[in-house]
Structure 1
Amino acid sequence: MQRRPLLAALAALPSLVRAEPVRRPGADLARLQAHLRFLADPLLEGREAGTRGYDLAAAYVASQFAQWGLQPMGDAGSFAQAVPLKTAKLAATAPMLEICRDGRCERLAWLDEFSTSPDLSLARRDVSAPLVFAGYGIHAPSFGLDDYAGLDVKGRIAVVLAGRPPQIPSEEGAHFGNARTKRELAVRHGAIGVITLSTPRSEIVSPFHNNRRFVDNVSMDWQAPDGRGGSDIPGLQASALISVQAAPKLLAALNRPYTQLVADAEAGRTLPRGDLGLSAHLVRDSVHGQARSHNVVGFIEGRHPQLKDEVIVLTAHLDHMGRKGDTVFPGAMDNAMGIAMLLEVARLHAQSPVPLERSVLFVAVTGEEKGFLGSAWFVRHPPVPAASLVANVNIDMPILLHDFKAVVALGAEHSSLGAAAERAAHSLGLQLAPDPAPEQSRFTRSDQYSFVRQGIPAVILGADGASFDEKEDGNALMREFRRLRYHQPGDDLSQPFHWRAVQRFAQLQWALLQQLGVQPERPRWLPGSFFGEQFGPRR
């Protein structure tokens, strides 16, 4: 099918606007739509990090920053902060995983029963080791959990359930249930690999069959000066994910049916742990390369003699999934929408007759879809003194399909950013609502987590399902998006965006920045905050 030329699509833009009153003027809806139109156009081929499509999108963002007078804070006086990348892709020969008992081995079916990712360190991994079941693979003493207590995993592969037990609250659970957190912990206990077992609950959040769509994807990591991957976990030699259908094959020695074990886990009951009487043999071949992408960074200095040295960082990721053959993944909601918001807030700030007291960095980051690479690089190589970074507000995939009247602020209860978010919401006649899907662990699934891990308070806002329009079911609309269009070609410009909600959400982001930019006290972790205690304030 022939694609409509970009300029013709832009010319047709006004026809998209609903003839309905806007309650709070300020954010310019036509500008938001124009940004969205350009960034999600198939011309940009899905904006995958390290590709020409991404570079076109980055040039667009830089031109907007320049138009509104932001100070370039990239390399050599530009807006571009280069992010060196290592790349890896699975070789044509499919990976192999065998489960062996007493010299007899059963080979699991690639992409039906197991999946694995390319190895960014070695071109070939051939690993054999005994298997030990370690429950969820979590060490959380404050919640009475230590899955490695009395367990010997040295030189072995730890087998763990995906996710977290129910007694850990959602955002703390997002940290402990994070795959990287589990792998780091296993390696600290001497394990050489981690095999993760899917569960019915993890299937809801991330269905195993989705791995088929991404089997040809290029994995990336930011590259440290010594050539090592910045996210590399030294000592980790093997990792794999097992489907719900194949998981029982690994747990027979526990003398508890898999369905019962999962039911016990989800009820918070004690799980059996120990040697499974099995060994695994995992072989995977990877093809390595290098790439380069960049963050786009602009700066507006605050006006207060002291507070201008405290810098708020507003982020949104510019990259998306790219293309697969002739199929483009436009990434309109994820995250052309977030970048449109960032650009509009930058304009509002630049044109405001009353500058903020604090300084603001506006950062369009690369590589979020590859593991938060651009934000991880940025917090380690900020263009201002690291200690001056006091808060992060991240904008990622606000699903704006209904006339939302409440806001979910992930991370709000952990820092003073929560009070600022509540004031911003109330200024627009909105309420704060609790996370409606804590099992999805969303607080650790985007770029704000890179800042949190460096001790910087962060928050990310999203629309709640409640609507000003009683005929709308916002929760159903958002579920439909996640089920049918999230990370799919259908995340495109044909979606039924609710334009009044789009404008309101941009205004909300501007209101939050205003709150943070003028409040007298420095943003801080709240007493007893898990993340504040885990990662500590930046010093």
Structure 2
Amino acid sequence: MKTVLTSTFLLLSFVLVSAQDKSKSGIPAEAQAAVQSAKPEAIRAHMRFLADDAMEGRKPGTRGYRLAANYVIAQFEALGLQPAGDHQTYWQKVPLRQWRVNEETSSLVLIAKNGQEKPLSFGKNYLLSPVYGSEKSEVTAPVIFVGFGVTAPDLNYDDYKNIDVKGKFVAYFNGAPAAFPSNQRAYHGSAKLENAASHGAVGVISFSLPTDVRNRMEAAAPRARQGTYRWLDKDGKPQRVFPELKGVASLGDSTARTVFAESGHSLTDVIAAANKSIPQTFPLNFSVRMTTETRSGNDIAGYNVVGVLPGSDPILKNEYVVYVSHLDHLGIGRPVKGDSIYNGAHDNASGVGINLEAARMYASLPTKPKRSILFVGVTGEEMGLLGSDFFASNPTVPKDKIVANLCLDMPFFFHPLIDIVPYGYEHSSMAKEVNVAAAYLGVQVAKDPMPEQVVFMRSDHFSFVRQGIPAIYVKSGTNSGNPQVDGLKLNLDWRATIYHSPQDEIDQPFDFNAAAKHAQLQFLIGYLTAQNPQRPTWNTGDFFGNKFGPKPGSKAPADSGK
């Protein structure tokens, strides 16, 4: 009898403690136990395998990528994740095709008002982008300068106001007005081809502000010569292209200066206005004859890998929280310091390894989350977010049942995790889950320390945002916990010396305890989202919610909770 009473007392004590724990943190005891089981050494082991030379840099379409994908699938199987790709497998095929401009048969000629022609030199004065779906495209048209080439009615800004560019080339600066909020600036800076096409332009000429080092000719030419990839739809047509544009060019700095010579506008004054975010539009008083010969080929059978942990709620299990991390990197390339394998340990074996550890935490739960949890390792991120865009556009589960996305890409764990920057935090109700998880783990939520890097547009979460799905992308903040270590400088130095180089290897001074805390955050944010009877929503009046979310008057997906 005493034993029974003692056992009953202990059970009641456990229940009371568990209830107190949950009331204090908002997190059930079983989820807390899963969090506390995080294994730094498991993340290191995943990264060590995925970043090994045997993976040959994990370039899509290669043996190394296939080996890495098979490793992830093996982990899915070991954890009990079910196949969620094509035809009851873990694979989702992503058809990719490369396009290149043939320099020898392509050209760009400036034509003055008096008819005098000035041919330019490919790779020195200008670069051309492929014209998708056309082997040879020729177009001659006058040129209109349209500032940044941005139309943003929500910000009371329009470079196309009171100007007709139909049948003309538009010329603009790269980027977007500095006065815009960071994420809107990133979006508008990336949507300018679409904007030019929608205004009726037949071609585009872009050039850089003096401060835009990344897009200068010497940096851009090697990238351009590698060609570009797009994913193909079921009819074999490339996506995210604009066939209305018959020619797309970028000019070098010195060449850009010459095009303003006869415009009646000083380039110095134009740059000054751009730096003040003042819309500006005027004819450049010359025409362009642009000839682009595009060669297509080198098709790649790319693959995403997809596994699912089915939910426990009879209704909510039909909805999904999607974790995504890109599995690919740059393969084998130009040798740097005697090494030609671009291993991509931080970019992004780290994100894959951390999400696998989060998957292990889910698998350890005695009761699975109410919603289903989908884990996706995507291909082609380094080619332009291609694998995630393909998945978000062609998901292997019903698109309207995907309620949220959590992305991880180069989270940066070279020092203890004191604060985080959760990109997407300010746009949706998922801020609540982020706040609860961060408070429980004792980390602070910080603002973006590098808005000029436009991170919100540069990883796979944005493919889900584009489909109207709220997303969170967590990276480390800049507080290193050591006054002698400047976290921001450490980050910027890494980007300048290691990023996209063969030196991104497993032997870097990673802090795997910080990596484990990233895994804890990934797990908790997703777990709380999966348990919430209400699916995440865009904040009222949010730019991305208005742009991509349910339109006024349309029927939003109904909450299926109780």
Instruction: Please confirm whether the aligned pair reaches a TM-score higher than 0.5, indicating the same fold.
Output: yes
The answer to whether the aligner puts 1:324 opposite 2:333 as a matched pair is yes
How far apart are residue 505 of structure 1 and its match?
Answer: 1.6
1:530 maps to what in 2? 543
Task: Give the whole-Å Cα distance in 2 for the aligned partners of 1:56 and 1:206.
Answer: 34
1:394 counterpart letter in structure 2: C
1:402 maps to what in 2? 415
1:87-166 to 2 correspondences below 5 Å: 87-91=98-102, 93=104, 95-101=106-112, 102-166=114-178
1:263 counterpart letter in structure 2: A
CA contact (8 A) 2:158 2:279 kept: no
2:139 counterpart letter in structure 1: V
CA contact (8 A) 1:314 1:392 kept: yes
Task: Give the whole-Å Cα distance in 2 for the aligned partners of 1:346 and 1:207.
Answer: 42
Q: Aligned match of 2:251 in 231, 238, 242?
A: 242
1:182-221 to 2 correspondences below 5 Å: 182-203=192-213, 208-221=217-230
Moved more, 442-451 or 215-224: 215-224
Q: Alignment RMSD, CA only?
A: 2.0
1:374-393 to 2 correspondences below 5 Å: 374-393=387-406
2:266 maps to what in 1? 257
1:131 counterpart letter in structure 2: V
Superposed CA offset, 1:7-26 (max 9, x none): xxxxxxxxxxxxxxxxx843
- When residues 504 and 109 of structure 1 are mapped into structure 2, their CA distance, relative to the original with a 3 A threshold, is farther
Superposed CA offset, 1:436-458 (max 9, x none): 12222221222111111111111
Secondary structure of the structure 1 residue equivalent to 2:58:
coil
Secondary structure of the structure 1 residue equivalent to 2:292:
strand
How far apart are residue 315 of structure 1 and its match?
Answer: 0.4
The answer to whether the aligner puts 1:279 opposite 2:287 as a matched pair is yes
How far apart are residue 325 of structure 1 and its match?
Answer: 5.6
1:515 maps to what in 2? 528
CA contact (8 A) 1:404 1:474 kept: no
Task: Give the whole-Å Cα distance in 2 for the aligned partners of 1:218 and 1:399.
Answer: 29
The count of residues paired between Structure 1 and Structure 2 equals 512
- When residues 144 and 471 of structure 1 are mapped into structure 2, their CA distance, relative to the original with a 3 A threshold, is same
- When residues 259 and 41 of structure 1 are mapped into structure 2, their CA distance, relative to the original with a 3 A threshold, is farther
Task: Give the whole-Å Cα distance in 2 for the aligned partners of 1:375 and 1:233.
Answer: 20
2:472 counterpart letter in structure 1: V
Task: Give the whole-Å Cα distance in 2 for the aligned partners of 1:464 and 1:208.
Answer: 32
Task: Give the whole-Å Cα distance in 2 for the aligned partners of 1:422 and 1:339.
Answer: 23
2:66 maps to what in 1? 55
1:7 maps to what in 2? none
1:279 counterpart letter in structure 2: S
Taking every aligned residue pair, what percent have the same amino acid on both sides? 38
Moved more, 65-74 or 283-292: 283-292
Secondary structure of the structure 1 residue equivalent to 2:254:
coil
2:16 maps to what in 1? none
Q: Aligned match of 2:384 in 352, 362, 371?
A: 371
How far apart are residue 494 of structure 1 and its match?
Answer: 3.3
Secondary structure of the structure 1 residue equivalent to 2:506:
coil
Secondary structure of the structure 1 residue equivalent to 2:426:
helix
1:62 counterpart letter in structure 2: I
2:41 maps to what in 1? 30
Moved more, 119-128 or 339-348: 119-128
Unpaired runs of at least 5, structure 2: 1-34, 551-555, 558-562
Task: Give the whole-Å Cα distance in 2 for the aligned partners of 1:90 and 1:124.
Answer: 10
How far apart are residue 103 of structure 1 and its match?
Answer: 2.6
- When residues 409 and 41 of structure 1 are mapped into structure 2, their CA distance, relative to the original with a 3 A threshold, is same
Secondary structure of the structure 1 residue equivalent to 2:514:
helix
Q: Aligned match of 2:92 in 81, 85, 91?
A: 81
1:93 counterpart letter in structure 2: E
2:41 counterpart letter in structure 1: A
How far apart are residue 275 of structure 1 and its match?
Answer: 1.4
2:249 counterpart letter in structure 1: A
Superposed CA offset, 1:53-87 (max 9, x none): 22221111111111111010112221000111222
Superposed CA offset, 1:124-157 (max 9, x none): 3333322111111111112111211221211111
Unpaired runs of at least 5, structure 1: 1-23
How far apart are residue 480 of structure 1 and its match?
Answer: 0.6
Task: Give the whole-Å Cα distance in 2 for the aligned partners of 1:113 and 1:441.
Answer: 27
1:18 maps to what in 2? none
Moved more, 31-40 or 113-122: 113-122
How far apart are residue 206 of structure 1 and its match?
Answer: 5.1
TM-score normalized with structure 2 length: 0.87
How far apart are residue 405 of structure 1 and its match?
Answer: 0.9
Q: Aligned match of 1:488 in 491, 501, 504?
A: 501
Superposed CA offset, 1:500-537 (max 9, x none): 22222222212212221222321110111111111123
- When residues 106 and 501 of structure 1 are mapped into structure 2, their CA distance, relative to the original with a 3 A threshold, is farther
Task: Give the whole-Å Cα distance in 2 for the aligned partners of 1:67 and 1:474.
Answer: 37
Superposed CA offset, 1:228-274 (max 9, x none): 11222121221122233332122234434323322221222343x12
Secondary structure of the structure 1 residue equivalent to 2:535:
coil
CA contact (8 A) 2:328 2:381 kept: yes
CA contact (8 A) 2:178 2:276 kept: yes
Larger gyration radius, structure 1 or structure 2: 2
